[in-house]
Structure 1
Amino acid sequence: MTRPLLPLKAGAIIFTLLWTAWMMWWGGSFSSASVVILALCGAAVGYLWYRAMRWQFERMGMLPLVRMIPQGLPDPGSCPGRSASSAVRRRAGTRNRERISC
C-alpha cells in the first residue's frame, strides 16, 4: 500500500463494516442467506465508495496522481506529433510507474 492511500483504504474498510452492520440491523433478518447477500453487497458498496473517494481526492489534488503503465516503452517526448498526456496509459497489475509513448 502506498502511504497516501492508507487512510482512504482504512476508511473504506470501516465504511464497509458500518454499512453492512446497518443494513443487517435495519433489515431485521439474520438468516444465513441474508447475511451472505448483505456481506457481498457491503463489499461492493465499500469498493465503489473507495473508487469514488479516490477519484474525487485525485481530482481535488489531495492525492498524488499515479498512473500504472506497461513496462519497456520509450519516453513520450521522443514521439513526434504525439503529446505526453495522450501517451500515458493505465494498465492494471503492473508496478511500473514510468511514462510511455509510441
Structure 2
Amino acid sequence: MNRTTQLKLCSLAFAVMWTGWMLWANEPVDRANIVMLVVCGALAGSAWYYAMRWLLQLIRLLPPHDGPVKPAQWRRAHRC
C-alpha cells in the first residue's frame, strides 16, 4: 500500500469519525440534520485530505502530484 492510498483511507476515517461525533453531539436527530452533517463530513474529509497532501508534499514525504511517478525515480530525484 502506497502513501497516497494510506492518506485516502485516513481521510475517509476522519470523515466518518467527524460525522459520527457531530451526530452524537447534536441532540435533535432528524433527516435534515443527518443529511447536512453527512455533507459537511464529506467536505471535512476532503479538506483534511488536501491539507495533509499539501503538507506532506511540502516536507517531501509524498511525491509531487504532477502525474504517476515511479518511487525509484522520485527517490533518486529527491536525495538529501
Q: Does TM-score exceed 0.5, indicating one fold?
A: yes
Percentage of matched positions with identical amino acids = 33
- Give ranges in structure 2 of 5+ residues lacking alignment: 70-80
In 1, Cα distance between equivalents of 2:7 and 2:22: 22
Structure 1 stretches (4+) deviating beyond 6 angstroms? none
List per-residue Cα deviations over 1:32-54 (Å, max 9, x = no partner).
11000000000001000000000
1:55 & 1:66 partners in 2: Cα distance? 9
For 1:6, the equivalent position in structure 2 comes to 5
TM-score between the two structures when normalised by the length of structure 1: 0.63
Secondary structure of the corresponding residue to residue 63 of structure 1: coil
1:28-79 residue CA offsets vs partner (Å, 9 max, x unmatched): 12101100000000000100000000000000111011214xxxxxxxxxxx
Specify the alignment match of 2:43 in structure 1.
44
Q: Which has the higher helix share?
A: 2
d(CA) in 1 for partners of 2:50 and 2:65?
14
> Which residue does the alignment assign to 1:83?
none
Cα RMSD (Å): 1.6
- SS of 2:65's partner is coil
**In the alignment, is residue 21 of structure 1 matched against residue 33 of structure 2?**
no
Q: Could you tell me which residue of structure 1 aligns to residue 64 of structure 2?
A: 65
- The structure having more radius of gyration, on CA atoms, is 1
Alpha-carbon shift at residue 21 of structure 1 (Å): 0.4
Letter in 2 for 1:66: H
